[in-house]
Structure 1
Amino acid sequence: MNLELSYTSIINIFIMPESDDESAQSLFQGFLAEILDPQYIQNLSKFSIFPQEVQEIFMTQEELIYFRNHYFKPNIFLLRPTALRSFLPLLKEHSFVVLTYLPSDLEFISSIKNEFKYSPITASTNKNSDVNINQDFNCYILDEILYERLKLYVDKNNDKIELIQLLEKKSLRNKELTDPGFISRNHGVTCATESVVEGFGYEFKEVKFIPGSPEKSGYVRAIIEAASNLLTIAGQEKDISKSDLIVYSPSIYNHLYKFNSHWWNQVFRKIKNKKIKELIKNGVFKNPNYSGLIIETEEPFNLWDYPEAGTILSMRQSELALTTLAIQFLSILNCSPAIRLPNAINFHTGEIRELEKLSKLSGKKQILNFNKKFKNLVSTIKNEIGSELIEFIKEKSNSITLCTDTPLEWVSFDKIPLMFTHEISKIHTTPGNMFLLNSSQSVNVKVHKSELFVVTVIRSFKDNDPIKSMLEMSLKHFADIDNLVTIKIVDVSSEIELIRALNECNSHILIFDCHGEHGGSESHGWLQIGEDKVDSWSLTYKAPIPTIVLLSACLTSAVSGSHASFANGLIKSGALSVLGTFLPVDAAKSSIFMGRIIYRLSGFLNAVEKLGIDHLTWREFITGFFRMSYCTDILQAFKEDYKIIDQKQYKKLHIFGNEVVNSYQESWFEKVINAVSIESKLDEKALFNLVDEIGITESMYYMQLGRPENIRIIFKD
């Protein structure tokens, strides 16, 4: 790992509990049990708004907002002690390191301080730290000590002319907290958005709480109000690596949505009071809106008089607080509002399970039923979100970090699915530990265009498997168009051989070509490697995983599977971006899909470079590809299923579609439909009706997981 650091970058490290995969975790979402402690939650929340660059302490509020929108590249790490020790060689020479810890970790902090060339700044809640974050905490709390450390650094490094000039020309910023001019709601649905405002140096002078209610309207108004207020302050213009909005809905493990299961029966059996049992079940876990509730009872009671109920409620409250904290990190990193969606979008495990079953059938009746079920699902989810949030997301964003376990990418916010109208980065909200780490993860990777021109394929099929050579033939066909991309194919027949191949892989892009499957909502997903069912979660620490992984296999991020999908396991093992599959994919179509990505590597990137563009993100790259692929799907349906265009028209429209996508034109799909209208002599409304009728297409079987916006493709040496 190479950190993107300047002399004035701050490396912010929070010391987490020592743990491993066997450590106790919270029941419903999978956070490390120890961090349910309010001390961790409170201190992590404060840690999230620390300055990330020494230059920030010299900026006006306006300069800070502009800097965070355009140049902000934080280096935030949540590390357990053993991980920090292994990480030391990368950071011990750096001038500005902040170690935030709980008092219980004081001994560990004392044991490593002397290993740094420049003494790290320590922050905690006790008198032994350099900064006590319990005393008058705000975003300026590190300013004075950072200023003193900067002067010491310049004294020891008098060749750093730019830093000497910084000290001579700039004075410390005004540490007065200003009123943003609007109220705080101080609620879980607005806290992440409000924390961005507080990080700019504002202090809310008035708090107006959202009245508790089982209805969602009050929460939705508060979410939109807070988001609009932040956009008023921060604006919408950002660096390409940032997301315009963070859109999320907290979930629990997939299998726990089966509320009549044996597991839930065992949990609720311990609660003897029927009213309390119903309150926990329906008010907390089955609440379709925002977990607000009003208790109407003839006899008042204290929930905490029922220990089993209190334990469940306390744990879920802590999980929701940690979810809010994860979103807070993302909002601050992106300078973006967070939009909380209602719980109801997570309650479709039965429909999704049925959808996956139907996707494996090939009869005409079954295909029609599959498409009908798909349309019902996305229509229901859209209605559950509601028109106010739909309109806000549609109008205020082109890029989204999506934090949900539901396939929200399939829902059409504006005529076609979200995965084609927006640049999407997706982070699963289960397991909670991964969610928190991925949300706070801020490492940026720079990759030169030419480094992407070597692609490794790890393949595992039996010799008589009819699809064994399909991907190889497709990749070579597309690579041979301009002979710029080198394809390395490695055949493996066991997990041991797979691990060896991964250790020998030096490509930034890896493709897995094999069969995939999963064991349902309570088991892992796997790839079939020879006779071995390989679970990617078991690969952690055994082999390095490249930055970008493309999965040409079925069900690698199965829509009805558990959190432990093969794709998610690769993220845990170090990949920044994984292209996974929601559903079983057709081998021939998947081969062409992957082949077109390979051709795009050379064709598109070379074309972009000629336009004088310095860089783009992998998220931009793959979004453009998804859009072209969707155009292909729709045009093929118009030609083959509806016969409204012929082959010659198809080719002409296909070229036009690629042009409008690759030239970043607004309303690109409307322009494609307009072109089809001219060729077919059908009006645009009728064509959009056909698009709705087509429903799910092959491109929608794929999904983009991870932080692809953090991979920056550069063109200059």
Structure 2
Amino acid sequence: MSINPILGSIDPRLFYAAVAPPPSGQASLIQGYSRERLELYWVYRVMARLPATLVDPAMSFEAIRGHRACGQTGWRYSFLYPKGLLKAAPGGRAPFWIVFTASPDAAAFVSKWQSHQRYRPIHASLVEVDGAIRPEELTADVIRSHCLRVVAEHEEELGHLRPLFDHWKIKEPEPVAFPFRGHFIASSNQLSLSANGRRSPECIPHWSGESEEAYEDVVHEGFAAVLDARTSSDIPSGIALAPPRPVIWLIAPSWLPNLRTRLLEKAQTKEDKSAISDLASLIENQREFSTLIGADRFERITNSKIAQALRSDWHRELLLFSEAIGWATAGTMAGSWRLRPSINRVIGRVRQFSENLRSTDDPAPAKVAKLFADMQTALCAAVDPRAVEEILNTGWGVKVISDAPVEWLPIGDLPLCLECDVSRTTATPADALLLQLEHHEQLRLSVADFSEILLVSAFAEGARDDRIVEMLKDHPSSSWTQVRVERVQSEDELIAAINGYDGPLLIFDCHGSHPVGGKAHLVVGHDQVTIASLAARIRMPPIVVLSACDTQAAARSTDTVAKAMLELGARTVLGTSLPVHFLHAGLLVSRLIRTIDLYLPIAAQTMNHVPRWSEFIGGLLRSQFFFEVMMHIEHAGLIDNQRCLEILGTATPLARESGSAALDHMEKRLAEAGVLEPTDFRAIVRRVVPLSDMIRYVQLGNPETITIGSLEQLPEELQQGGDDRKDRLAPKWRWDAYRDAGRPDMMQIRGLRSYGPFED
């Protein structure tokens, strides 16, 4: 059955939304979930057992997994308050909605709203109100009956969809060889398996391991089962040229700063203080998956109603974290690897390393190397070695969900961020994490969209720090990529410069700062601009590159400049975890622009798929790092410039694949030329790593969801295969392109300004 002719102009996605009462401003004290989000913690699990699209029930599990691995058919979901719901409504092009509620106020509001909709949605609620069903009653068959009822009520507009529902069928999942276990560390992968045609004949509720090895084995077992399911995916030809999403997610829940102080504010008695202090110690000092509580401490916590309530909240937060991750990875067929709780104890080592680099412009290399090695040792202690093996053996990159700098985890002689493509989202504040998980739909850009790049500079022309503009003076005027330079000296000028640009890429060149205990900001003239304060006044492009210090500062709070830009609508931000030298930052940005100009038009030809932005930036950082290594060797007088550039030229294509591929190649070429023995070359690499600015850059948000190019950019032999391929790869600025004319898109409903070269 060919699906596209049946769908016509109808959005194939089911639209899921959770509606909460107006925000109370209250958030959980440990991870920072809003109370409204916590009330709806169960929504992710319910969605994961339901179809994401009208087409899913008509496909085999193998085909569904193939679509999801390429980021095509995860669940479309939005968390809304009443004001947002009033802006939204099922329309003629997207008529099939399912709305969840948990509170009486939200349920009553949705019940009334539902009754006025032309295309009446399903309302699933924990509250008994007119027109609602219980969440546990919501099944694929219920959705099918609802869709057919909507079709019957609008036969002229939707009648052509009826044959599609005739092909919906119940599919029997395949069994896995282990029991599902009721524990936070197991639930993410188990949810992903259940959503993608795998089931366990046995479930062990309230499971606990007999040893740490037992917990580690359960994590590995679930991860391996997800990868096995992904391997058995059937990727249709129409999406085979869309690059798969990251295969591995490294995940670790965390807590907000000053945890003990904030928890103790809830104490009402001396006994409460003692019990809450015990609970804070339990959270902060946890190193292993098992949490052993002494009898005295357990009794104190149990006897305090406030401490018990806080502990209950903590468990619910852990459940929400695990199930949200499971829902997100189920939509992309990724395996999640839960890191040991000791990952959150690395902060002391991170602080020593980062403060040493912040304290001077000329740090002692030996001390930097030692502090970096100590930090990496602590990171290794928090990661199962089997996870490192999987990273080395699996392509398509890694996603990090953690407050710890997992990007610095050693993978051979390189840190993770220089071995493969890595993107990240911090685990706290947790509402911001959920928003990033929900922004998973593909944003397809064309190469031509990069014909103009906006460079906003807060430096005066000719100033010492004005390196990027100086380096770009040699950029040929005949180039197809033009750089628009806007110099700004105030917050208002910054807003005007960004709002006057409708392209995809903003580069901001300025000073940044994130003082201890203070607000992260960018320095623009005499203004200290906190990006969050620009909400509702600025339209952020989908891609932002920050050439500024400490925009995602290590060992500071997670309320960073880069995070604020994500919340204002950027899909991805290249931030900095430490200060960066203005010269090295200038080299990186100028190389970025030249690579866009020279390589982006042919990238799809050389890669045999349209590239993801995360691949593009990952390859750029690795290439620049190996440039630094070769410059170190040249400056030591071990090689001449011509041979240095020759080796770099042959290593750069390999650096786009992985750091180890380029490293092995360079080691071999240098040995063959009699320049360096392999052990000496590796020693130089290890010395360069901790001092390199390239390890200080962090890809935040969802760069893997952005693809660049179209079918026409691929090799000619891969362009064959019909219109489905063309449609799947055609650039599309709006991820909400199916909305009806005159209706706001989902970015506008969330209070953001839409992307793209158009007026709304």
Length-normalised TM-score, structure 2 = 0.84
- Partner residue of 1:574? 569
Give the alignment partner of residue 438 of structure 2, picking from 432, 437, 440. 440
Read off the aligned partner of 1:142 and give its amino acid letter: I
Query: In the TM superposition, what whole-angstrom CA distance separates every residue of 1:175-216 from its partner, at most 9, and x where no partner exists?
Result: 556644431012111111111121134443212368646953
Give the alignment partner of residue 200 of structure 1, picking from 196, 201, 204. 196
Give the deviation of 1:41 after TM superposition: 1.3
Q: What is the rounded CA distance, in whole Å, between the counterparts of 1:486 and 1:643 in structure 2?
A: 38
Read off the aligned partner of 1:594 and give its amino acid letter: V
SS of residue matched to 2:588: helix
- Partner residue of 2:31? 29
Cα gap change, 1:274/1:577 in structure 2, threshold over 3 Å: closer, same or farther?
closer
Written as runs of structure 1 = structure 2, the 5 A alignment for 1:228-377 is: 228-235=224-231, 240-256=243-259, 272=271, 276=275, 279-290=278-289, 292-297=290-295, 301=299, 303-362=301-360, 366-377=364-375
Give the alignment partner of residue 226 of structure 1, picking from 222, 228, 250. 222
Give the deviation of 1:449 after TM superposition: 0.7
Read off the aligned partner of 1:189 and give its amino acid letter: I
- Partner residue of 1:186? 182
Q: What is the rounded CA distance, in whole Å, between the counterparts of 2:116 and 2:671 in structure 1?
A: 69
Written as runs of structure 1 = structure 2, the 5 A alignment for 1:86-125 is: 86-88=87-89, 93-102=93-102, 104=104, 105-113=106-114, 116-125=117-126
Alignment partner of 1:678 is 2:672: yes
Aligned residues: 696
- Partner residue of 2:57? 57
Asked if structure 2 preserves the Cα contact closer than 8 Å seen for 1:474 and 1:592, the reply is yes
SS of residue matched to 2:202: coil
The higher-RCO structure (CA 8 Å, 6+ apart) is 2
Written as runs of structure 1 = structure 2, the 5 A alignment for 1:154-169 is: 155-157=156-158, 160=160, 163=161, 166=164
- Partner residue of 2:386? 388
Q: What is the rounded CA distance, in whole Å, between the counterparts of 2:297 and 2:504 in structure 1?
A: 64
Q: What is the rounded CA distance, in whole Å, between the counterparts of 1:10 and 1:462 in structure 2?
A: 49
- Partner residue of 2:758? none
- Partner residue of 1:695? 689
Give the deviation of 1:411 after TM superposition: 1.4
Between 617-626 and 137-146, the greater mean CA deviation after superposition: 137-146
- Partner residue of 2:749? none
Written as runs of structure 1 = structure 2, the 5 A alignment for 1:142-157 is: 142-149=143-150, 155-157=156-158
Read off the aligned partner of 1:304 and give its amino acid letter: T
Cα gap change, 1:601/1:419 in structure 2, threshold over 3 Å: closer, same or farther?
same
- Partner residue of 1:591? 586
Between 124-133 and 695-704, the greater mean CA deviation after superposition: 124-133
Q: What is the rounded CA distance, in whole Å, between the counterparts of 2:553 and 2:91 in structure 1?
A: 38
Cα gap change, 1:488/1:49 in structure 2, threshold over 3 Å: closer, same or farther?
farther
Q: What is the rounded CA distance, in whole Å, between the counterparts of 2:184 and 2:114 in structure 1?
A: 36
- Partner residue of 2:538? 543
Asked if structure 1 preserves the Cα contact closer than 8 Å seen for 2:452 and 2:483, the reply is yes
Asked if structure 1 preserves the Cα contact closer than 8 Å seen for 2:17 and 2:80, the reply is yes
Give the alignment partner of residue 472 of structure 2, picking from 475, 478, 503. 475
Q: What is the rounded CA distance, in whole Å, between the counterparts of 1:176 and 1:225 in structure 2?
A: 22
- Partner residue of 2:168? 172
Alignment partner of 1:526 is 2:521: yes
SS of residue matched to 1:533: strand
- Partner residue of 2:42? 42
SS of residue matched to 2:618: helix
Alignment partner of 1:507 is 2:509: no
Asked if structure 2 preserves the Cα contact closer than 8 Å seen for 1:139 and 1:201, the reply is no
Query: In the TM superposition, what whole-angstrom CA distance separates every residue of 1:498-542 from its partner, at most 9, and x where no partner exists?
Result: 22222222221111111110122x432100111111111111222
Query: In the TM superposition, what whole-angstrom CA distance separates every residue of 1:78-110 from its partner, at most 9, and x where no partner exists?
Result: 22221233344x956422222222352233224
Q: What is the rounded CA distance, in whole Å, between the counterparts of 1:464 and 1:52 in structure 2?
A: 54
Give the deviation of 1:136 after TM superposition: 5.2
- Partner residue of 2:652? 658
Read off the aligned partner of 1:23 and give its amino acid letter: G
Give the deviation of 1:419 after TM superposition: 1.3
- Partner residue of 1:633? 628
Give the deviation of 1:355 after TM superposition: 2.0
Asked if structure 2 preserves the Cα contact closer than 8 Å seen for 1:525 and 1:561, the reply is no
Asked if structure 2 preserves the Cα contact closer than 8 Å seen for 1:254 and 1:349, the reply is no
SS of residue matched to 1:41: coil
Read off the aligned partner of 2:194 and give its amino acid letter: E
SS of residue matched to 1:62: helix
Query: In the TM superposition, what whole-angstrom CA distance separates every residue of 1:412-461 from its partner, at most 9, and x where no partner exists?
Result: 22331111222212111111110111112233211111111211122213
Read off the aligned partner of 2:510 and give its amino acid letter: C
Read off the aligned partner of 2:679 and give its amino acid letter: K
Query: In the TM superposition, what whole-angstrom CA distance separates every residue of 1:348-389 from its partner, at most 9, and x where no partner exists?
Result: 333322322221355766343123211210122112213233
For structure 1, the 5+ residue unaligned runs are: none
Give the deviation of 1:594 after TM superposition: 0.3
Give the deviation of 1:230 after TM superposition: 2.2
Give the deviation of 1:286 after TM superposition: 1.3
- Partner residue of 2:13? 10
Give the deviation of 1:133 after TM superposition: 4.2
Read off the aligned partner of 1:474 and give its amino acid letter: M
SS of residue matched to 1:142: helix
